[in-house]
Structure formats: C-alpha cells, structure tokens
Structure 1
C-alpha cells in the first residue's frame, strides 16, 4: 500500500469511537503478560454485602458490576465527562450513587463514609482516601507505575524525556505508612505487551493520551512506519508495562 493511502487508512483507525473502558477492538490484536496477582480476587476476598463501597474512577462500571455488590451500598466517582454521562444512564437507574470528581484530592463524601475503597488505575490522594475510610477499613489499589510504556514512548515520540521514578511501589508503601495504614499486600511487576498489528497499536495509543501526548498519525507517521518494519521483522511490536498493587488497612 502506498504511503498516502496507508496514512489515510491509519487515520480512520485513530478516529474510531471509544466509550467506557472497552478494549474489545483489541481482541487478537495484542497480548499482555498476566500479572502474578489478581485485582478482582483481592476485592472479592475483602468485600461483603454489608460493606459501604467506594470505587474511584470506575470508568464505564464494567469491572464494578462483576462484583455484584448491593447497589444501595455502592458509590462511584468518575472524572471523565463521557464516562460520567454513561454511568448516569447505566448505573444510576440501578441505585448506585455517582459523583463527578475532577480532582481526586477533593472527594465529596463525609468523613468515615466507607468500609472499603477500590481504585484501579485511577489517581488518588491518600489523605482523602484515609479521610473517607472508616477505621479498620480496607483500601485496594492497582496502579500504573511511572515506567509504564517507556519502551514504546521512546520508539514513537520525539524528544521523549526519561521518566523519574516517583510513582512506584516503594513510594506508595511509604505513603501508606505515613497515613496510618498497615500494608497487607504489596507487589510490583513489569509485564510485556505485544502488538500484533498496526491497527491495534494506533487504536491503543489514541486511547491513552496521557501516556502518548500529542500523538497523531499525521505528526508521527515516520515513527509508525518504523514500527511497521519492526512488526514485519518480529511479528509483533514490543512494549513493557509497569504495575503495582497495594492492599492496606486503616489502623483503628
């Protein structure tokens, strides 16, 4: 395919619609190494029907609904307007309390509101988490560390600056201690990520603009061509993720 036609085709991929946190388009287009822990299993271990639950940055609510928690004991926050509108249509009629939170250091809930706070890949202010959590309550989080996607960033972005190791298991364990939490579980891992076609890579990169700022097919076409060569040579494009998980209990 000649370059201009290829560019126009790739531009149709970056314009595809996206809602919630649904990556079904990526089925068979990528592979991500499994983590040595399971976030959902942590939640099910500590969650019971009588607990008041807060799920921070719930996205489209897809994962939350798999826990089958009583809707009248469930609150969620979301800071991205399209997802917030989706939640109002999807979860609010069920009885779930939905709160728009643009800044996670300002949670609009009273002190000691929740028995358990969940946070999967959402920013948070641990002082606010402590404030809204009851004594003896549990905070469960899985986070994207600051080394996430560095390999692909170096291949794709021009003049990318190396990330400073400030968002990691080590830093957040120290924060838990300062905020009067006991650490129940803590682990960090760097799983591989393989992309098996250019459509999948472009679709993914456009969905995480905080990882790949100012990316477009138009401005990064030469870099995409180089990645296509890597794909043809190796049958996949290699990237590496960075994940860490923490379970903490607020001391009584």
Structure 2
C-alpha cells in the first residue's frame, strides 16, 4: 500500500473517538504479555460487602461494575470531562456517588471516609489517599510506571536523549508510603511486552496516552511510522515494553 493511502488510514485512527476506559477498538490488533498478578482477584480478596469503596479514576465504571459491590457504598472519582459526563449518566442513576476531581492534592472527599480505595492506572496523591482512608483501611493500586513504552517512544519521536519526566516506580512509591505511615502489605513490578500487529493500533494508542508520546502526530512521525510498518510487514509485529507495578497499603 502506498504512503499516501497509509497516511489517510492512520489519520483516521488518530481521530477515532475514545470513551470511558474502553480499549475494544484494539481487540485483535495487539498482543500483551500477562502480568504476574490478577488485580481483580486481589481487590476481591480484600473487599467485603459492608465496605465503603472508592474507585479512583473509574473511567466509565467498566471495571468497577464487575465487582458487583453494593452501589450505595460506592463512590467514584474522575477527572476527564467526557468520562465525568459518562459517569453521571451511567453510574449516578445506580446510586453510586460521582465526584469530579480537578486536583489530586485536594480531593472533594471527607476524612476517614473509606474502608478500601482502589486505583488502576489513575494518578493520585498518597497523602490524600491516607487522609480519606479509615484507620485500618486498604489502598490497592496497579500503576503504569515511568518506563512504560519509554524506549519505544524515543525511537518513534526521534528523541534519543529523552528522559522520563516522573519518579513513578515501585521503589519511589514504597518510600513515600512508608514516610506517610502506611504499612506495605503486597508489592510487585514487571515489564511485559506489548506487540502491535498493525501501525494503526499504535497510532490510536499514542493519541490516547499522549503523555507518553508527547508531540506525536501522524504527520510529524510519518517517516518513522513507515519504517515500523515495514517491520510489521516483515516480522508480523513491532514490540514495546510496558511497565506495571502493584501496591497494597494499609493505613495504620
């Protein structure tokens, strides 16, 4: 396929609307190495039916609703405006409390409010998590670490000297948690592969996670995208490395 035709296809991917935290558009177009823990099972191991639950950065509540937790005991936060609207339409009628967050360091939530706070791939301020947890409460988070797609994005954006912006990894989070007075119950970290089976899938993801691919566009990265397309044609995929870590903390 010619360069101009591929560019048009990739630009359509660049413009594709992303809603909630739903990656169904990528089904069958990527291959991802399994991480060594099961976040959902870990949450369910700690979550009791009588617990007050907060899901931080719930997206559209996709994961939250699979927990089947009593809605009147459930609160969610969300900062991305289209997702806030989605939560208002989808979750509030169920009796789930919806809170819009504008500043991680100033959550619109009461002190000592929750038995369990869960957070998958959402930013947070640990001091605010500590404040809003009850004594003995548990914080469970799975995070995308600072090295996620890092080497890959350097090549795509042609920025060989690029450095990670954030100290976001297991070691730094444990240090901060212990300083605040948390007890570390569980922790793990891994670097699984992520394979893209077509370049359009890469384009779509790069526009969603723009903080990892800062400055990306099909137009400015077209030469690199064409090189990667040739690799997919030859090898069947191009591969990146993800970065994930898990923390389960208890407020003393």
Could you tell me which residue of structure 2 aligns to residue 32 of structure 1? 32
Q: Is the 8 A contact 2:191 2:242 kept in 1?
A: yes
Decide which moves more: 75-84 or 209-218: 209-218
Q: Is the 8 A contact 2:9 2:200 kept in 1?
A: no
For 1:164 and 1:87, the matched residues in 2 are separated by 30
Q: Is the 8 A contact 1:147 1:165 kept in 2?
A: no
User: Where do 1:75-114 residues align within 5 Å?
Assistant: 75-114=75-114
Q: Are the structure 2 counterparts of residues 82 and 165 from structure 1 closer, same or farther at C-alpha, using a change threshold of 3 Å?
A: closer
Deviation readout 1:16-39 (Å, 9 max, x if unpaired): 121001111111100111110011
The alignment status of 1:186 with 2:187, answered yes or no, reads yes
User: Where do 1:133-148 residues align within 5 Å?
Assistant: 133-148=133-148
Q: Is the 8 A contact 2:3 2:226 kept in 1?
A: no
Q: Is the 8 A contact 1:59 1:78 kept in 2?
A: yes
Where 2:35 maps in the other structure, the secondary structure is coil
Q: Which runs of 5+ in 1 are unaligned?
A: none
Residue 164 (structure 1) shift:
6.1
TM-score (norm 2): 0.97
Aligned-residue CA RMSD (Å): 1.2
Deviation readout 1:138-197 (Å, 9 max, x if unpaired): 000011110110122022113251226721110111111111111110111000000111
For 2:234 and 2:137, the matched residues in 1 are separated by 51
Q: What number of residue pairs does the alignment pair up?
A: 251
Residue 203 (structure 1) shift:
1.3
Q: Which runs of 5+ in 2 are unaligned?
A: none
TM-score (norm 1): 0.97
Could you tell me which residue of structure 2 aligns to residue 70 of structure 1? 70
Could you tell me which residue of structure 2 aligns to residue 200 of structure 1? 201
